[in-house]
C-alpha cells in the first residue's frame, strides 16, 4: 500500500468502557503490562494519558493470530482513563475522540446499569466496539493458561468449565440482542460491521488479550483505514484531557492529538472558560521512558508530536482551559479563523439555560453536556452550567433562583472550594454532589418531591375542605344564637369555624358559620363522611332560615377550590373529591369559570 509522502496512517484511538468493577482498569493495566514485557526495549513510546501499543508488540503478543503483513496501521492507542464518563468527554470535531471502543462486561454479572449507559453512548456516537467478556478465569474449575489466546485456553478446560463459561457468554449475547445489537463469539462473526464480536478475556491471567488486540486491530484496519490517513505536516488538532498544575511549568494541559502535528513553539487556540485561549507552546512533555524513571524530572521534552499521541502541553495562560475542549494549531492560516472554529465547536456543547433553574458544575465539558441532557429529560431547568469546582460565586447565583427547589447546586465529579463550603453553611442553597450522573439527578429529584409533598401537606392543613351534610330530623337542640342541631356528613370533611350555606337553584346562600362540633359529647375539630355529630351554627334560626332535613355545604372559597382541584386532587379523599365535584358543578352552572 503506497502513501503520499505528506500523509501517513495514524494509530486508531481506543477507549475502554463498562460498569464499575467489571475490570476496565485491570484490563488496561494488563494490556499495558503485557505489552511492556513483550515489547522490544524502547518499542513502547510513553504517552500522557494514553498507551501506545505498536503493531510489532501486538503481533508478538498475538502469536499466530496476527500476521503483521496484513496490517499497515501502526498499532493502537489506548486512552488510560477508562469509563464512559471520560469517553463522552473525549470528543473530536463534535464526535467521539475514540475511534473504537472496548465494552467490558463481567461474565458473571452480565449487563448492569452502566453497561446500558455505555451502550447508549456508543450507539449515539456511532462508535464501533467489541465486548470483552471479562473475568473468564472466575469460572468454577477454571484451569488458567497465562496469556494464551482464548481457543488454546478453552482447549485446556474441562467440559464443565467450558460449558459454564459458554452459558454466561450466551447470556451476554442475549442481552446485547435485547438492546438491538446482533452479537456472537468473535470467532464466529463473519462481518464485524453487522455483528458485535464478544471476546472472552481475563484481566487477571491475560487469557484472551491476544484475541482482543487482534480483533481491535482487524476492525480498525478493515473499517477505519481511510479515516486514519493524516497530513503529517498539517496543523495539529486535539482534545484537552485534563488541566493540571505542574511544578516548574504552572498550569499545563494533558491532551490527545488526533490529527496533524503539534510542534514546540506553535501558536495554539484552546477552549477556555470564557474565551478561547490563544497561546504559544513553551514545551511538549512526555513521561520519561521507564528505564530513566530515577531521574529527577518526570518529563522529557520533545520537539513535536504527530497524531495520534498523548502529550502534556506547557504554555502561558492555560489556567482557564477546560477538560474536553478542543485544541487547534494555528499554522498557515489566520488566528481569527481558528478562534472562530474553536468557538463554533464549543457552541455545539453549550447548554441551554433558563431564567430560573439550578446551577450545574461538572469536571469536563463532556460531562457537563451529559448532565444537561439528563436534566432536560427530567425537565429540570438550568440557570447556569459551567466546568470547574464549586466556587462562592456559584452559591451566590444559586441563591438568586426564584423557586425554592431551584436553589440548588448539582456538582458532578467536582470539589467544593473551601470558601464556597463556608458560604454553603449559611446560604439557603442545597448542594448535591455525586460521581454518577443518574444518581445525582435521582437525589435531586427525591429532594424536590419530598419538598413538594411537605409543601402540599402544609397547604392541605390550611385549605378549606369541601363537605355536604344533612340536618337530622328531630335533632334540633337549640333554635338559634347559636343554632345547635344534629347532622350527618354525607361526603367530604366538615370542619369547625367554616362558613356554611345551601344552594338556592345555582346560587350559594351563606347561612352562618360553625362555632363548634361535638361527637358523643366531646368537642372535635372535624367530622368525616358517614359520621353523625351535633354542630353549633352562628347566624341562622332553625325553622326559619333552615329546616330539619335540609342539605347544607361548607362554603369553599374560590381560591381554595382551585387549589383543591388543580393541585391537591390526589391528596384528598375520594368522598372529598366527590363533594368538591358536586360543589364545583353547581357553582359552575352559574359561572363556568368559577375556580378555574
Ligand atoms: P473497574 O471499576 O471496571 O475499573 O474495575 P477494576 O479493574 O478496578 O476491577 C474490579 C475488581 O475486579 C478488582 O478487584 C479486580 O482485581 C477484579 N478483576 C478485574 N478483572 C478481573 C479478572 O479478569 N479476573 C478476576 N478474577 N478478577 C478481576
List, for residues 479-524, the tens digit of each pLDDT value: 999 999 999 999 999 999 999 999 999 999 999 999 999 999 999 9
Select from 2.60.40.1930, 2.40.30.10, 3.30.70.2520, 3.40.50.970 the CATH code of 467-590.
2.40.30.10
**How far is residue 466's CA from residue 581's CA, in Å, rounded to a whole number?**
9
Q: Is 400 annotated as a binding residue?
A: no
Residue with cell 469509563: 83
Q: Phi and psi of 11, rounded to 5°?
A: -75, 130
CATH superfamily, domain 232-340, is Translation factors (2.40.30.10)
Q: Is 23 annotated as a binding residue?
A: yes
Indicate if 358-459 has the same CATH topology as 7-228.
yes
Q: Is 63 annotated as a binding residue?
A: no
Which ipTM was obtained for this model? 0.99
The CA–CA distances, whole Å, from 315 to 138, 332, 340 equal: 48, 20, 21
This prediction's pTM: 0.70
Q: Phi and psi of 334, rounded to 5°?
A: -65, 140
Residues 66, 215 contacting (CB under 8 angstroms): no
Distance 33 CA to ligand 1 centre (A): 15
Q: Where does 7-228 sit in CATH, by number?
A: 3.40.50.300
Q: Is 214 annotated as a binding residue?
A: no
* pLDDT at res. 42: 46
Q: Which atom of ligand 1 is nearest to the CA of 19?
A: 3
Selected residue with higher pLDDT from 140 and 62: 140
Quote the percentage of the chain above a pLDDT of 70.
95
- DSSP state at residue 40: P
Determine which residue's CA is closest to atom 19 belonging to ligand 1: 23
Residues 412-450: tens digit of each pLDDT: 989 999 999 999 999 999 999 988 888 898 999 998 888
* pLDDT at res. 62: 84
* pLDDT at res. 344: 86
- What is the average per-residue pLDDT within 81-110? 85
Quote the percentage of the chain above a pLDDT of 90.
68
Distance 44 CA to ligand 1 centre (A): 24
Residues 327-375: tens digit of each pLDDT: 999 998 999 999 999 998 887 777 788 899 999 999 888 788 888 988 9
Q: How many CB atoms lie within 10 A of CB 83?
A: 20
Residues 166-204: tens digit of each pLDDT: 999 999 999 999 999 999 999 999 998 899 999 999 999
- What is the average per-residue pLDDT within 373-386? 90
**How far is residue 451's CA from residue 427's CA, in Å, rounded to a whole number?**
18
Beta bridge partners of 499: 513
Query: Mutation test of ligand 1: which of 32, 203, 205, 436 has the most ligand atoms closer than 8 Å to its C-beta?
Result: 203
Q: Is 475 annotated as a binding residue?
A: no
Distance 27 CA to ligand 1 centre (A): 8
Highest mean pLDDT among 36-40, 111-115, 452-456: 111-115
- Sequence-distant contacts of 160-165: CB under 8 A, at least 24 apart: 164/139, 164/140, 165/107, 165/136, 165/139, 165/200
* pLDDT at res. 33: 81
Distance 282 CA to ligand 1 centre (A): 40
| pLDDT interval class at 111 (50, 70, 90) | very high
* pLDDT at res. 43: 56
Query: Mutation test of ligand 1: which of 15, 23, 201 has the most ligand atoms closer than 8 Å to its C-beta?
Result: 23
Q: Phi and psi of 41, rounded to 5°?
A: -55, 130
Task: Specify the length of the chain in residues.
Answer: 596
Q: Phi and psi of 131, rounded to 5°?
A: -105, 125
Residue extents of the structural domains in the chain: 7-228, 232-340, 358-459, 467-590
Q: Where does 358-459 sit in CATH, by number?
A: 3.40.50.10050
Asked whether residue 292 carries a pLDDT value surpassing 50, the answer given is no
Selected residue with higher pLDDT from 226 and 292: 226
Q: What is the CB < 6 Å shell around ligand 1?
A: 18, 20-26, 82, 134-135, 137-138, 202-204
Q: Which atom of ligand 1 is nearest to the CA of 134?
A: 23
Determine which residue's CA is closest to atom 20 belonging to ligand 1: 23
**How far is residue 459's CA from residue 37's CA, in Å, rounded to a whole number?**
70
Residues 524-558: tens digit of each pLDDT: 999 999 999 999 999 999 999 999 999 999 999 99
| pLDDT interval class at 295 (50, 70, 90) | low
Provide the grid cell at 243.
488541566
Distance 22 CA to ligand 1 centre (A): 6
Distance 385 CA to ligand 1 centre (A): 35
Residues 492, 549 contacting (CB under 8 angstroms): no
* pLDDT at res. 87: 79
Query: Mutation test of ligand 1: which of 15, 16, 17, 26 has the most ligand atoms closer than 8 Å to its C-beta?
Result: 26
Amino acid at each position: 500500500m503506497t502513501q503520499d509522502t505528506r500523509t501517513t496512517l495514524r494509530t486508531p484511538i481506543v477507549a475502554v468502557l463498562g460498569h464499575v468493577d467489571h475490570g476496565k482498569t485491570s484490563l488496561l493495566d494488563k494490556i499495558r503490562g503485557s505489552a511492556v514485557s513483550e515489547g522490544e526495549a524502547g518499542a513502547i513510546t510513553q504517552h500522557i494519558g494514553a498507551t501506545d501499543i505498536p503493531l510489532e508488540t501486538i503481533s508478538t503478543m498475538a502469536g499466530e493470530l496476527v500476521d503483521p503483513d496484513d496490517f499497515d496501521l501502526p498499532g493502537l492507542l489506548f486512552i488510560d482513563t477508562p469509563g464512559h464518563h471520560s469517553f463522552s468527554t473525549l470528543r473530536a470535531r463534535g464526535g467521539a475522540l475514540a475511534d473504537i471502543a472496548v465494552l467490558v462486561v463481567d461474565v458473571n454479572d452480565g449487563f448492569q446499569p452502566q453497561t446500558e449507559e455505555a451502550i447508549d453512548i456508543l450507539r449515539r456516537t456511532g462508535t464501533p466496539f467489541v465486548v470483552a467478556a471479562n473475568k473468564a478465569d472466575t469460572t468454577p474449575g477454571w484451569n488458567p493458561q497465562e496469556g494464551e489466546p482464548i481457543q488454546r485456553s478453552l482447549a485446556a478446560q474441562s467440559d464443565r468449565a467450558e460449558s459454564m463459561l459458554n452459558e454466561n457468554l450466551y447470556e451476554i449475547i442475549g442481552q446485547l440482542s435485547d438492546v438491538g445489537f446482533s452479537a456472537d463469539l468473535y470467532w464466529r462473526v463473519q462481518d464485524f460491521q453487522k455483528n458485535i464480536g464478544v471476546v472472552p478475556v481475563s484481566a487477571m491471567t491475560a487469557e484472551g488479550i491476544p484475541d482482543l488486540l487482534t480483533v481491535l486491530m482487524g476492525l480498525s484496519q478493515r473499517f477505519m483505514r481511510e479515516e486514519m490517513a493524516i497530513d503529517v505536516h498539517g496543523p495539529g488538532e486535539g482534545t484537552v484531557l485534563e488541566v493540571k498544575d505542574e511544578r516548574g511549568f504552572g498550569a499545563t494541559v494533558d491532551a490527545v492529538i488526533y490529527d496533524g502535528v503539534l510542534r514546540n513553539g506553535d501558536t495554539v487556540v484552546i477552549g477556555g472558560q470564557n474565551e478561547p485561549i490563544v497561546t504559544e507552546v513553551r514545551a511538549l512533555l512526555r513521561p520519561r521512558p521507564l528505564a530513566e524513571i530515577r531521574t529527577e524530572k518526570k518529563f522529557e521534552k520533545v520537539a513535536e508530536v504527530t497524531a495520534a499521541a498523548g502529550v502534556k502541553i506547557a504554555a502561558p495562560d492555560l489556567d482557564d482551559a477546560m477538560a474536553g475542549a478542543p485544541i487547534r494549531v494555528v499554522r498557515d492560516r489566520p488566528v481569527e479563523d481558528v478562534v472562530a472554529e474553536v468557538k463554533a465547536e464549543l457552541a455545539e456543547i453549550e447548554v441551554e439555560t433558563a431564567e430560573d433553574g439550578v446551577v450545574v458544575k461538572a469536571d469536563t465539558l463532556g460531562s457537563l453536556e451529559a448532565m444537561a441532557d439528563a436534566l432536560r429529560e427530567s425537565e429540570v431547568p438550568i440557570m447556569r452550567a459551567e466546568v470547574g469546582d464549586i466556587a462562592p460565586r456559584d452559591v451566590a447565583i444559586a441563591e438568586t433562583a426564584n423557586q425554592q427547589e431551584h436553589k440548588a447546586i448539582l456538582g458532578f465529579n467536582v470539589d467544593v472550594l473551601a470558601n464556597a463550603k463556608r458560604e454553603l453553611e449559611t446560604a439557603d442553597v442545597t448542594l448535591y454532589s455525586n460521581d454518577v450522573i443518574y444518581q445525582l439527578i435521582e437525589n435531586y429529584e427525591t429532594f424536590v418531591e419530598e419538598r413538594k409533598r411537605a409543601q402540599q401537606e402544609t397547604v392541605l392543613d390550611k385549605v378549606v375542605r369541601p363537605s355536604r351534610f344533612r340536618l337530622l330530623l328531630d335533632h334540633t337542640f337549640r333554635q338559634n344564637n347559636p343554632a345547635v342541631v344534629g347532622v350527618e356528613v354525607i361526603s367530604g370533611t366538615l370542619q369547625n369555624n367554616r362558613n356554611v350555606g345551601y344552594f338556592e337553584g345555582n346560587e350559594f346562600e351563606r347561612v352562618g358559620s360553625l362555632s363548634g362540633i361535638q361527637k358523643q359529647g366531646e368537642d372535635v375539630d372535624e367530622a368525616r363522611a358517614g359520621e353523625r355529630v351535633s354542630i353549633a351554627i352562628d347566624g341562622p334560626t332553625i325553622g326559619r332560615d333552615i329546616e330539619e332535613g335540609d342539605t347544607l355545604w361548607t362554603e369553599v372559597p374560590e381560591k381554595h377550590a382551585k387549589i383543591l382541584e388543580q393541585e391537591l386532587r390526589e391528596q384528598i379523599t375520594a368522598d372529598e373529591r366527590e363533594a368538591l365535584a358536586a360543589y364545583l358543578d353547581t357553582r359552575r352552572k352559574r359561572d363556568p369559570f368559577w375556580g378555574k
